A and B are shown apart, each in its own frame.
Chain A
Amino acid sequence: MNDKSDIWNRKKPSFGFISTRFAGLDGVSLETGKWAEVLLSKGCKIYYMAGQLDTDPAISYLAPKAFFKHDEILDLQESIFTNKKRDSKISRKIQELKEELKSEIKKFHSKFGFEFLVIQNASAIPVNIPLGLAITEFIVETGIPTIAHHHDFFWERQRFNSPAAGDYLRAAFPPVHPSIQHVVINSLAGYEFGRLTGASWTLVPNVLDFKALPQEQDDYSKDFKKDIGLDDDAFLVLQPTRVVSRKGIEIAAEIVKRLGIPKACLVISHESGDEGEDYLRRIDEFAKFIGVDIKIIPGKIGKERGKDENGNKVYTLWDVYVNADIVTYPSLYEGYGNAFVEAIYFKKPVIVNRYAVFVADIEPKGFDVISIDNYITDDKLGRIKDMLNNPGRLAEMVEKNYMLGWQYLSYEMLEEKLEQLLINYYGS
């Protein structure tokens, strides 16, 4: 037994997770669930506070104004990020809400008595400035050991660049304090965070539980193709993303067209979300223009298997992966690339664009994928065809990728990182 593993025997601290929301399928909620799973498996206790929750009420503390879509917060945020000056009334309102939320955090802490605070993105992306300020003051006033897990920073989003907010952003997004350990999901974000704040950081990429082998096709999932209007022998190209412009879905459509595989269909799993419908319309028109069958199927996918209001089967995203023949991921930008990790986990061949984080953090691990540089060439197309026509090569490729995923992007890797964070605090 080495020193690092021993930390879990010596210490089993409890953790209070805080964010604006722990509910649904957003990336922060999903990743938080994985951290919680690992910590629970080590015998630690977990508690949650947020403005929207679908966690066990017995271990949760609901503070409605922590939610970024709470009416009062939305009004405040709009005022701050659409004006160049901040009205003094808004400043006062921010202070009032900050005090209110700090009081909520204190109650959360008093109720459950956790030893570590874990901030899940609430101190990185300023969608609720009073919450970020409240968290900062709570940490400074209590000195509670804190892990701040940053998924995306304000400087990565143009809409948060406002002179009416700069003072708050510098103070609390994220705060720098001796009791806070910062965790980022990609190294590029880490370098920029370090440059701007001078604080150190730990890289913890998004993970999956590779030791639990992926589900296989079963009686439920085998109906998926038929249910979205495809024949059983259709060639399913999965684009497991939302329909937003940075996903580069035109490239995926072009790949489908140029592969020329009979009955090929580009299936997009998620909707356009809150970024508008313009790109969705463009993709629809583009696919028609080049003659590619495209299906956008968010209505068929739910958190769990079941039936929709019309009695039709609802599938999980995992059911969709099981049915995919190939996965396209031609993103121009990603914070990490959850869909890439999922494709590796499901042992699917992947065509990926070399977005910055892929080049910095994923490619060096040695994954065997077809990577492109913003557009598809004849050479790459030939490589895709060779791969698809050579089952032996395909099997070797996906197996190699799975084992690399297990090595670098697994719960075991996360456990080691969390061990190190605890050792940083408790000592080895």
Chain B
Amino acid sequence: MEFNTEKIGDITVVTPLANDIDVSNADDFKTGIFPILEGNSKIIFDMNQVEFLDSSGCGALLSCLRQMNKSGGSLRLCSVQKAVRTLLEIVRMHQIIQIFNTVEEAVSSLQTSG
């Protein structure tokens, strides 16, 4: 899986370039994203291109969160499409990973959290 990355100060905004994150590519997602997580302590996943997430996709996001928590870093999601957001809310992942409407809001949240 490919990713776009952009630096805003000490924050790294990562955009997964995939419509789906599911059982067919969740491992690819993790393989690709983990090196990015390792080098950065403040990460935002810009989910604007992701239209579908299944349980494996949710699991992949949670793996990223665990990785960031372990290293003392922070992870936010933003620009989550409605169907994906609904799913995240159904399984209450929005209570575990903070979700923002825009990149700017997510950046602001990470800046104020120090």
Using a CB–CB cutoff of 8 Å, the interface residues on chain A facing chain B are: 5, 210-211, 213, 395, 399, 402-403, 406-407, 410, 412, 416
Residues of A within 8 A of B56 (CB): 213
Q: Is B55 within 8 A of A412, CB to CB?
A: no
B78-96 interface (Cβ within 8 A of A):
87, 90-93, 95-96
Interchain residue pairs with CB less than 8 A apart (18): A5-B95, A210-B55, A211-B59, A211-B91, A211-B93, A213-B55, A213-B56, A399-B23, A403-B54, A403-B90, A403-B91, A406-B55, A406-B58, A407-B91, A410-B92, A412-B92, A412-B95, A416-B92
Asked if residues B23 and A395 are in contact (CB atoms below 8 Å), the reply is: yes
In the complex the two chains form, what is the Cα distance from A412 to B62 in whole Å?
A: 14
B91 touching A406 by the CB < 8 A rule? yes
**B-side contacts of A213, CB under 8 Å:** 55-56, 59
Residues of B within 8 A of A407 (CB): 90-91
Interface size class of B (residues with CB under 8 A): 10 to 19
List B residues 39-75 near A (Cβ within 8 Å): 54-56, 58-59, 62
The residue that A399 contacts in the complex, of B55, B91, B96, with Cβ under 8 A, is B55
**Nearest CB of B to A56, in Å:** 23
In the complex the two chains form, is B93's CB within 8 Å of A403's CB?
no
A410-B91 contact, Cβ under 8 Å, with A211-B58, A213-B56, A402-B55: yes
Shortest C-beta distance, A328 to chain B (Å), equals 23
Closest residue of chain B to A402, judged by CB? B55
Shortest A209–chain B CB gap in Å is 11
- Chain A residues within 8 Å of B87, by CB: 403
Chain B residues with Cβ under 8 A from A399's Cβ? 23, 54-55
| Chain A residues near B59 (CB-CB < 8 A) | 211, 213
Within the assembled complex, what's the spacing in Å between the Cα atoms of A211 and B93?
9
In the complex, what residue of chain A is closest to B62 when comparing beta carbons? A211
Q: A213-B59, A403-B91 are in contact. List 14 more A-B contacts (CB 8 A).
A: A211-B58, A211-B59, A211-B96, A213-B55, A399-B55, A402-B55, A403-B87, A403-B90, A406-B58, A406-B91, A407-B90, A410-B91, A412-B95, A416-B92
